Structure formats: C-alpha cells, structure tokens
Amino acid sequence: MTVLDSTALTADFWAAAARRELVRPVCRDCGHSFFTPQVACPACLSEDWVYRPSSGRGTVYSATVVHKAPSPGFTVPFGLGVIDLEEGWSMLATLVGDRLPQIGSAVEVTWVERDGRTQPAFAEATS
C-alpha cells in the first residue's frame, strides 16, 4: 500500500549523495538519528526532522560477499555490509576496496556511480 510519495522523504538524501555528501535524518525534537527515512522519528514519533551531514565514518556491523548477481548490472563477487555510523545510525551498503572490510573494520564512505546515480559505498578507513 502506498500511503505517501516516498521520494518526498528521500529526495534530499539522493540530492546530497549527488554532491558526495552523506546525510541522515535527525529528529529536531529528541535528537535521534535514524535510517531508513520515515515519516516520523521512531524514537518519539515527531515529524519534525531534518537531514544533517554525517562524517561517513563508522564500523562494519556485518559483512558478506555476494557471489550470484541479484540482477543484471551487478558484477560478482561484491561486498555487502551493514555499517554503524559514528553518529549512532546504520545503513546497508556496498563494501569496496582491494581489501574488503570485515566485521569490526573501521570504514569511511566513498562514492560509486550506478545507473546514472551517485551512491554511497564503504571502504577500509585510510586514517
């Protein structure tokens, strides 16, 4: 069921990504960072939230390697992980690099082009 146009919630995320800036929703009432974007903050149900920049630095919570392409356009194998960002939120994203990050690896955001869009990926932190 479609209750609202989800692009209204996420357009600013992808606009920031196009500028190679990682952002996440932050609640203006309680300060909670959350992801994926929702109509209201899952901590206090306030609809008063805004996108704020993330450092793009974090830790790999879980990591796997995909060996079978889920759909055309994916080159296998590729890394996939859940990243805990240092502002206290997490997201699913591709893992990249000559040395693929593992569970517990310190990572930083990098940017990849796919289907004409700039999207986040994470690589071993360089510093």
Partner 1 sequence: MNLSGVAVVGVGVTPQRKRSQRNSLQVALDAAKLALADAGLSHTDVDGIAARWPGPGGTELAPGSADWSTLLGVPLDWIGDSYPQGVPALLDAAGAILTGQATTILITGGQAGVLGGGQVASYTRPGNEFVEPFGAFTAAHFALVAQRHLARFPHARRGAAEIAATIRNTGSANPEAVMHGRGPFTADDVLAAPPVVDPFTLLDLCLASEGGAAIVVTTLERARDLPHHPVVVLGAGMEWMRQQYVDPPRYEQVWPIGRRAAAKAFGLAGLGPCDVDVAQLYDVNSLEVARQFEALGFCEVGEGTDFALATGIGPDGKLPTCTDGGLLSFSHIGWGAPTLKIAEAVRQLRGQAGERQIPGAEVAIAAGAGSGAQYYNLALLGRAR
**Using CB under 8 A, which of the segments 24-32, 46-54, 57-65 binds partner 1?**
57-65
Q: For residues 100 and 98, what is the distance between their CA atoms, to the nearest angstrom?
A: 6
State the chain's maximal CA–CA distance in angstroms.
45
Instruction: Name the minimum Å distance from CB 118 to partner 1.
Output: 10
Residue 86 φ/ψ region, left for φ over 0, alpha for ψ in the -120 to 50 degree band, beta for the rest: alpha
Token pair of 112, please? 């990849």
Instruction: Name the minimum Å distance from CB 27 to Zn ion.
Output: 3
| Residue from 30, 65, 76, 103 binding Zn ion (CB under 5 A) | 30
**Using CB under 8 A, which of the segments 20-28, 46-54, 84-92 binds partner 1?**
84-92
Please, which of residues 96-115 interact with partner 1 by CB under 8 A? Answer: 103, 114-115
Say how many C-beta atoms besides its own lie within 10 A of residue 81's C-beta: 25
